[in-house]
Structure 1
Amino acid sequence: MTDQKRQLSLNAFIYPSGHHEAAWRHPASRPDRIYDVTYYQEIGRTAEAAKFDAVFFADGPALRTNVKYNAAPGLEPITLLTAIAAATTHLGLIATASTTYYEPYNLARLFSSLDHISGGRAGWNIVTTGTDLAAANFGLSEHPVHAERYSRAREFVDAVGALWDSWEDDAIILDQKSGIYADPGKIHEINYVGRHLRVRGPFNSARTPQGHPVLVQAGASNDGRSFAGQYAEAIFTAHQRLEDAQTFYTDIKKRVATFGRSPDHVKILPGISPFIGDTEAEAKALEREFNELTVPEYGLAQLQGIVGKDLRSLPLDDTVPLELFSDAGNVTDNARSRLQVVAGIVERERPTVRGLLHRLAGARGHRVFAGTPEQVADTIETWFTSGAADGFNVMPPYYPGGLEVFTETVVPILQERGLFRTEYTGTTLRDHFGLPRPESRFAGGIAAAQ
């Protein structure tokens, strides 16, 4: 029986022309508009009309897409989200930003500004950046190793959090008669000193409507899971099977509890990329239609980025050799989480090279599902009620129509089943996710934790 008190969270993961790698070639997509701000504002309004929690943008400080065969993602997301904020009133606004290639003070200002501008709807997807391509763009000879990136990330989040807290909530006096704007005793230097970072503070902006933006994380390695347990308030993840998602869900909730945090205050949100049709056959035909538009050379390059091996010498219609994934590790190791997702597909399904490229073309390792609106809703409900998810990142294969079909056909079913809101009950992203507003660490004379 569905627990009526527990509600799904739904985000629209915006990938300009769609999450299928060939979406830009399909007549239902609009690759001509990926640098048009009104396009994203329209998507935001579609998501808000369906009462989605948030929209989400991935990002990275390097050109990773082979632009010969696919559209580049384009606009910087924090800037873009300010434009979506102006076109919406309730929709959460989540952007990815790297702790490896930003500095704490600058990034704290960007997200603080977004939270103020939007009236408390900002979220930060914390990444350490996983590509070597970024290093040269910042004058570095090589990309920092995995463990070092997470070590810096912990310091980075601590320093940014202290900056956001450095103005207590009641620091602004705003007494025009006496001429006193703020109480300096409630604005604090943070004097953060770590192995990687030094930040004096205080911040140059008042505390935001949410206290601080919602902290989101997407890494599934052991380092990533530990980081999420300590800091994340929402977690984006990729799983193909219900049992894998349940294992991840249980593990994360336990890690959260070990840090003295409430597991209910961390939302786990797998990705789902739905092809939707009036019948299952129509949905599967639509998926095939997109797959037939793929360019193998593009997919092989993407696969090489995951596997770390060149597969271009393999005939497209030969079965993928299992030995290519012999070093993938296992669900306990979690050192290369996306590689393990692909390895699992190869082991279970024994696809041809072409078949594997089609499996990954849909959403880069996230779950692709083709079916009727009822079947999509059934899948979402099963994962939600079976300890696998608190909601989903909806990843339409194509934009804008893929999101429109989902909101017009799947969302009403979820609402009828009592699984998803019919109206917003709050105005901030924390309200939508059911998260508490954090108290400043300096409130009441509390010293900053270094």
Structure 2
Amino acid sequence: MTSKRQIKLGLVPMGAGGPSKHNTWLDPEIPADASVNIDWFIEIAKQAEAAKFDLIFIVDSQFITPHSPPHYLNRLEPLTLLSALATHTKHLGLVGTLTTSYNEPYNVARRLASLDLISHGRAGWNLVTSGDAGTARNYNREDHYDYDTRYGRALEHVEVSKGLWKSYHDGAFPRDRSTGQFLDPSKLQPLNHKGQYFRVDGPLNIERSAQGEPVLFQAGDSDQGRDFGARVAEGIFTHAASLESGQAFYKDIKSRAAAYGRQPDEIVILPGAEIVVGDTDAEARDLERHYHFADQSFDQALAEFGRSFGWHDFRQYDLDAPFPVGALEYARNSFFTRSKQLTELAVARGYTLRQMIEHIREPHPGAFVGSAETVAREIIRWFDAEAFDGLNVRLGHPANFRRFTDEVIPILQARGYFRTDYEATTLRGNLGLRIPTNA
């Protein structure tokens, strides 16, 4: 029997190692230059497609320090990378991160529309407002935009981009050699947008793809972020620490979407997941703990801790003094929601800075760790409980990813929860999303 709803799967590759994974590149199965190695990305994209994943998701940011994780220090630009992957895959969705804070709508719309045509309708945009405040100084600004401005720009940016993607109505290019007519000018539509943040005349000089427009994804857990996602996004990347928190987030986003006149199935919610598979549950837990401590040292964790606080340097403080609550001020225009949660936790528990870092480093047993049977059963349990529509599987150690695709996915397929073949050739088609009208 097949489940009415089907689990969706995304793959998140972090190359040489992302946040809290500084030492992943020491795994001999990962090329030391994985984050800039196109052959490695092609290989894992093909693995994901063979396993019938919905998409591959390329994260991005544009500000680094020497303490950034290896993948952040040296990596390929998302849309350039995804365009290369498009020529080596046929069904896998191609989702990349682009900031609305430091890009112009016309350029973003054109680049994404190009990827959408190159891939025959498989492009997706993870739209972010940039949490790293230091990005401003890479784009000719002294200070990062405040929260209200970031989300105001983001909302208008999406409005303009979607308007530009409607520049050509269907059938705008007859390309009729017998009459010599290439364009039907009646089906060309300028935008003439004049808003608070952008002025864009249009039209865009590229036609729509087989899926109409790129799929819009968003990640943000602040109240503004959730509201923004519920208003414009078609996919939500998030984090679920427990089944109950996943259910609460799922219900909140779908309820907010309904308040904007949207249907709940117009949004696919995909929390990130660290999946570890072993021969037994006990072996998998041992592997999880081993990976956790091997992939990042205390000193690396301390240096990276400042990222949420605008890359404030916490190494300057006495590790055994009370947690420096004043550092929260540095997070005002950065990842403030996360920083506030960490600060409140430290105060509530009376942590010193050392204890806070040790708390961060302490393994928190993941939900999807165990034998293949245990992992599959838990994924189905969360899915049936509406804690998510699918998972964004973080690619850490290749051997473990192979066990997921080779052992867990066949169980999900046998129980009717995951496809045995693609339903469509477009990302929208595989995610069950409608094609936007072109009016």
- Do these two structures clear the TM 0.5 threshold for a shared fold by scoring above it? yes
How far has the Cα of 1:374 moved from its partner?
A: 2.0
Look up the match of 2:149: 148
What amino acid is the match of 2:251?
A: T
> Quick check: 1:283–1:372 contact (8 Å CA) kept in 2?
yes
Structure 1 residues 55 and 158, CA, compared in 2 at 3 Å: closer, same or farther?
Answer: same
> Quick check: 2:14–2:71 contact (8 Å CA) kept in 1?
no
2:405 to 401, 404, 407: 407
Alignment deviations for residues 160-204 of structure 1 (CA, whole Å, 9 cap, x no partner): 100000111121111111110111111111001111100000110
Distance 2:313 2:134 in 1: 18
SS in 2 for 1:174: coil
Distance 1:326 1:72 in 2: 25
Give matches, 1:374-385, under 5 Å.
374-385=373-384
Look up the match of 1:233: 234
> Quick check: 1:229–1:253 contact (8 Å CA) kept in 2?
yes
Look up the match of 1:386: 385
Please, which moves more after superposition, 301-310 or 259-268? 301-310
Unaligned runs of 5+ in 2: 330-334
How far has the Cα of 1:15 moved from its partner?
A: 1.1
Structure 1 residues 10 and 337, CA, compared in 2 at 3 Å: closer, same or farther?
Answer: farther
Structure 1 residues 302 and 3, CA, compared in 2 at 3 Å: closer, same or farther?
Answer: farther
> Quick check: 2:126–2:217 contact (8 Å CA) kept in 1?
yes
1:419 to 404, 417, 420: 417
Look up the match of 1:356: 359
SS in 2 for 1:173: coil
Please, which moves more after superposition, 404-413 or 211-220? 404-413
What amino acid is the match of 1:300?
A: L
Distance 2:298 2:389 in 1: 35
How far has the Cα of 1:278 moved from its partner?
A: 1.1
Give matches, 1:103-122, under 5 Å.
103-122=104-123
Look up the match of 2:369: 370
Structure 1 residues 205 and 68, CA, compared in 2 at 3 Å: closer, same or farther?
Answer: closer
Distance 2:143 2:326 in 1: 26
> Quick check: 2:301–2:357 contact (8 Å CA) kept in 1?
no
Distance 1:280 1:367 in 2: 12
Structure 1 residues 414 and 325, CA, compared in 2 at 3 Å: closer, same or farther?
Answer: farther
Structure 1 residues 325 and 88, CA, compared in 2 at 3 Å: closer, same or farther?
Answer: farther
Look up the match of 1:295: 297
Alignment deviations for residues 360-405 of structure 1 (CA, whole Å, 9 cap, x no partner): 8x9xxx957532222222221122111210001001332x333222
> Quick check: 1:191–1:200 contact (8 Å CA) kept in 2?
yes
What amino acid is the match of 2:361?
A: H
SS in 2 for 1:175: coil
Alignment deviations for residues 330-362 of structure 1 (CA, whole Å, 9 cap, x no partner): xxxxx94434665798779x99445434248x9
Structure 1 residues 356 and 165, CA, compared in 2 at 3 Å: closer, same or farther?
Answer: same
SS in 2 for 1:208: coil
2:428 to 430, 439, 448: 430
Distance 2:272 2:64 in 1: 23
Look up the match of 1:199: 200
SS in 1 for 2:303: helix
What amino acid is the match of 1:419?
A: Y
Distance 1:267 1:344 in 2: 31
Structure 1 residues 71 and 149, CA, compared in 2 at 3 Å: closer, same or farther?
Answer: closer
Structure 1 residues 8 and 343, CA, compared in 2 at 3 Å: closer, same or farther?
Answer: farther
What amino acid is the match of 1:37?
A: I
Look up the match of 1:444: none
Identity over aligned residues, as a percent? 40
Structure 1 residues 168 and 54, CA, compared in 2 at 3 Å: closer, same or farther?
Answer: same
Look up the match of 1:338: 338
SS in 1 for 2:36: coil
TM-score of the aligned structures, taking structure 1 as reference length:
0.87
Structure 1 residues 69 and 114, CA, compared in 2 at 3 Å: closer, same or farther?
Answer: closer
> Quick check: 2:22–2:69 contact (8 Å CA) kept in 1?
no
SS in 1 for 2:254: helix
Distance 1:245 1:412 in 2: 25
SS in 2 for 1:292: helix
Look up the match of 1:72: 73
Structure 1 residues 171 and 18, CA, compared in 2 at 3 Å: closer, same or farther?
Answer: same
1:269 aligns with 2:270: yes
Alignment deviations for residues 303-327 of structure 1 (CA, whole Å, 9 cap, x no partner): 2223577654465xx8x97895998
SS in 2 for 1:270: strand
Structure 1 residues 370 and 340, CA, compared in 2 at 3 Å: closer, same or farther?
Answer: farther
Distance 1:185 1:274 in 2: 52
What amino acid is the match of 1:92?
A: G
Distance 1:343 1:133 in 2: 21
Structure 1 residues 68 and 174, CA, compared in 2 at 3 Å: closer, same or farther?
Answer: closer
Please, which moves more after superposition, 296-305 or 63-72? 63-72
Distance 1:367 1:289 in 2: 13
> Quick check: 2:13–2:396 contact (8 Å CA) kept in 1?
no
Distance 2:326 2:281 in 1: 32
Please, which moves more after superposition, 230-239 or 410-419? 410-419
Distance 1:247 1:55 in 2: 26
SS in 2 for 1:30: coil
> Quick check: 1:69–1:295 contact (8 Å CA) kept in 2?
no
Look up the match of 1:447: none
> Quick check: 1:274–1:397 contact (8 Å CA) kept in 2?
no
How far has the Cα of 1:36 moved from its partner?
A: 1.6
Unaligned runs of 5+ in 1: 329-334, 442-450
> Quick check: 2:16–2:25 contact (8 Å CA) kept in 1?
yes
Structure 1 residues 200 and 359, CA, compared in 2 at 3 Å: closer, same or farther?
Answer: farther
> Quick check: 2:78–2:97 contact (8 Å CA) kept in 1?
yes
Distance 2:163 2:72 in 1: 38
What amino acid is the match of 1:395?
A: R
